[in-house]
Structure 1
Amino acid sequence: MPNVWPHKDELYLCTPIRISPRNNYYIVGFQPNATMHTAHHMLLYGCLEPGSNDSVWSCGEMQTNEIDDLYNTASPCRSGSQIVYAWARDAPSLQLPEDVGFLIGKNSAIKYLVLQIHYMHKFPEGKTDNSGVYLKYTKAPMRRQAGVILLGTGGVVAPNRVEHMETACTMSEHKIIHPFAFRTHTHGLGKLVAGYVVRRDESGDVWQLIGKKDPQLPQMFYPAVSTPVKPGDVLAARCTMNNTNGYAVKIGPTNKDEMCNFYLMYWVEGSSPLEKKYCFTTGPPYYYWSRAPQNFNRIPDLEASTV
């Protein structure tokens, strides 16, 4: 961030960098330069076009119609949006596996990187911020390209209720992806987030755990169970939420709202990552695994909700 002034609570700010179109680069590591006392969370987007030509703009994805008196308002990306990296709760650096990198630049759909930071609290007048992420990269070709798919939900957590917010998407592209890291993200109500690959055999569904974590721990990328995900397999995620409040809490952008996100980082051998970057459902009270179009059976209710 170029010494920005977060002048109000719950502000999302974005800043871009343009990648040289003449070269290919491979990002192989991420080193955060931020603390949770300053930044609630950071997202690094890959874009075909940035959301604005400004050096900084207001970019809350769920509140882009809000008028800001200091910064112009736009989405992080105008086109080609995908998430490359995410950070929260003082998570440490991330190094990708050997021979794996995010391709950006000449032969990639990522022509710009846009950093989004959520500032939960406004800064005093005159105090600015330059939090961000250091990128480790190389020009040496990598035989395995990295990608991220974000699984998440909309929905509402009713008052005084333990709720399951669930999502699932069938993999329809003719690619095999190899998960190697996962990250969970909720706000204060989240107790556990779990991600699975679901395969069907003669006897029914087989639920293979990719990873699960208490989202109140540092929201870093943790090692995933290595299991190839093939065409026809289903990626699924559940957030277990405990709302002890006497009022409903909806999915939304502020800390008073909730989020249910499972980030899956993967690599593909010798080809480009998935075109599908996001897997979202409407969430409760409309969507649950038990009534999903895939007609799931053998749902691992206990395992998916307990540490």
Structure 2
Amino acid sequence: MVFGHMFSLLVFVVFLTFSKLSWCSDLRKYPFMMPDIHPYKDDFYVCTSMEMVPEKNFYIVGFQPNATMNVVHHMLLFGCSDIPTKEPYWDCGEMADSEPDGRLTKASPCQPGSHVIYAWARNAKTLQLPEDVGFLVGKDSPIKYLVLQIHYSKKFPSSQTDSSGLFLVYTERPQSKLAAVLLLVAGGRIPPKEITYMDVECRMTENKVLHPFAYRTHTHSLGRVVSGYRVTRENGMNHWHLLGKRDPLTPQMFYPVFDRTPIMQGDKIAARCTMDSSSRDRYTEIGQTNNDEMCNFYLMYYVKDGSPLEMTSCYDMGPPNSDWSKNSDLDHIPHEEASSLY
């Protein structure tokens, strides 16, 4: 491609010559891997980056994980307008440790202007985008860098390193539909010995038509169900259209959405994580370690005209301060459906 990672020009040219995929002559694969990382502490978040060639456009059309859940807790791929450091890799666990430990540069994955492109956990499989759909990076995109973030739950023995990552499937052939990801996040605090609902919703204010095609859920160990909806307003009442629902402890890959009806300006997107702390004697905070929790619903979509949403994520405070029932704009809430797998 195209990306200027850590490879020499010679190796890069040889790779491009032999990496064409058999099913389509203009598709290529690029290996974006950790450069032999040594996770020296528990809950270690590490980032590495690659820079786009500035005078070209590239379209990422598929993701092939090269990782296993017994080594990697999860991976995130960010698209960034700029990055905070040019180090080959850095400590990017913003919430895991408040202070740097002096062994690596500590910084966020991106400077302001980040876009989540892909996420992986629990041995999720390869993702291939629909025909003519791609993530635009490079010349005509705000994405000038890609950053791979990996969370290692446990520190490695002193001599062991890791090079997990992704193979990016890409083309230089323009795609007629541009892909993006909208991330819904609920915060809050989960009390012990209870079933807790963590809710988030956001209104589509931009004049865009979104075509949803995949979703992904993410929690840690307390998650039982994560569901997401497109919410429309008709005849004075809300109508809830299920986009996706999943047990988040199954492979955390992107799955096809249940309803591909376009999402329009004025619609809402809402998500709920049902958390079960019945076996836990303490409060659980939102955070990045295994002792914490997360409530994330990823919606992958494309637009046929123009660019994707400027909004890349939305956030609600979560319990006990915020939930769907406390939002006066939401009615006819499908509590039972949203909180059960059946």
State the match for 1:125 in structure 2: 158
Using a 3 Å threshold, how does the CA distance of structure 1 residues 64 and 22 change in structure 2: closer, same or farther? farther
2:288 maps to a residue whose letter is: P
Report how far residue 202 of structure 1 moved.
Answer: 1.1
Q: Secondary structure at the match of 1:290?
A: helix
Is 1:155 matched up with 2:188?
A: yes
Q: Secondary structure at the match of 2:336?
A: coil
Is 1:93 matched up with 2:101?
A: no
Report how far residue 9 of structure 1 moved.
Answer: 0.2
State the match for 1:305 in structure 2: 339
State the match for 2:44 in structure 1: 11
Report how far residue 41 of structure 1 moved.
Answer: 0.1
Contact 2:96/2:289 (CA < 8 Å) preserved in 1? no
Is 1:164 matched up with 2:197?
A: yes
Is 1:50 matched up with 2:83?
A: yes
Please, which of 212, 229, 243 is the counterpart of residue 196 of structure 1? 229
Report how far residue 68 of structure 1 moved.
Answer: 2.2
Contact 1:27/1:136 (CA < 8 Å) preserved in 2? yes
Contact 1:84/1:147 (CA < 8 Å) preserved in 2? yes
Aligned counterparts of 1:113 and 1:13: Cα–Cα separation in 2: 14
Aligned counterparts of 2:232 and 2:151: Cα–Cα separation in 1: 37
Per-residue CA deviations over 1:179-229 (Å, capped at 9, x if unaligned) read 100000000000000000100111410000000000010000000121110
Per-residue CA deviations over 1:238-292 (Å, capped at 9, x if unaligned) read 0000002111111101011000000000000021111000111111000001112
State the match for 1:266 in structure 2: 301
2:152 maps to a residue whose letter is: Y
Is 1:242 matched up with 2:276?
A: yes
Q: Give runs of aligned pairs for residues 52-91 of structure 1, distance below 5 A.
A: 52-63=85-96, 65-91=98-124
Q: Secondary structure at the match of 2:338?
A: coil
**Higher relative strand content:** 1
Q: Secondary structure at the match of 1:303?
A: helix
State the match for 2:325 in structure 1: 290
TM-score of the two chains, using structure 1 as the length reference: 0.98
Please, which of 213, 223, 226 is the counterpart of residue 260 of structure 2? 226
Is 1:279 matched up with 2:314?
A: yes
Report how far residue 69 of structure 1 moved.
Answer: 3.0
Contact 1:115/1:132 (CA < 8 Å) preserved in 2? yes
Aligned counterparts of 2:331 and 2:265: Cα–Cα separation in 1: 19
Contact 1:155/1:285 (CA < 8 Å) preserved in 2? yes
State the match for 2:178 in structure 1: 145
Contact 1:144/1:271 (CA < 8 Å) preserved in 2? no
Using a 3 Å threshold, how does the CA distance of structure 1 residues 63 and 255 change in structure 2: closer, same or farther? closer
Using a 3 Å threshold, how does the CA distance of structure 1 residues 64 and 107 change in structure 2: closer, same or farther? farther
Please, which of 92, 116, 119 is the counterpart of residue 149 of structure 2? 116
State the match for 1:214 in structure 2: 247
Report how far residue 66 of structure 1 moved.
Answer: 2.1
Aligned counterparts of 1:166 and 1:98: Cα–Cα separation in 2: 33
Is 1:102 matched up with 2:148?
A: no
TM-score of the two chains, using structure 2 as the length reference: 0.88
Report how far residue 63 of structure 1 moved.
Answer: 4.1
State the match for 2:27 in structure 1: none
Contact 1:64/1:75 (CA < 8 Å) preserved in 2? no
Aligned counterparts of 1:61 and 1:270: Cα–Cα separation in 2: 36
Percent of aligned positions that are identical: 53
State the match for 2:28 in structure 1: none
Aligned counterparts of 2:292 and 2:238: Cα–Cα separation in 1: 34
Between Structure 1 and Structure 2, whose CA radius of gyration is higher?
A: 2
Contact 1:14/1:58 (CA < 8 Å) preserved in 2? yes
Aligned counterparts of 2:250 and 2:264: Cα–Cα separation in 1: 31
**Higher relative helix content:** 2
Report how far residue 176 of structure 1 moved.
Answer: 0.5
